[in-house]
Amino acid sequence: MEATVAERGQITLPKAARDALGLTKGTKLKIEIENGRLVLRKDVADALSRVRGRFKLPPGVTTDDVMRELRGRAPGDPVDP
């Protein structure tokens, strides 16, 4: 894939790249330079801030309970008999 730098320093990301990464109008990108390469990354902090606080856990359920359900037993957790 290629992109051309326009007169004002703007580039248009190819549609295939935008679609593959789920980039839509207004998506924020982090720009980094690594070993002479330009690296664009989706700003996940922006996405997380939009959903933060929208989900409530049932009474008596902790975040640790949910994480164990998703990931399994954590190191240091007691082993169930």
- Domain locations in the chain? 15-71
Overall average pLDDT of the 17-26 stretch: 87
Question: Which carries the bigger pLDDT value, residue 65 or residue 79?
Answer: 65
Overall average pLDDT of the 55-63 stretch: 88
Residue 77 has pLDDT above 80, yes or no: no
Mean of all residue pLDDT scores within the chain: 84
| Model pTM score | 0.49
Residue 23 CB coordination number (10 Å): 16
What pLDDT is attached to residue 8?
95
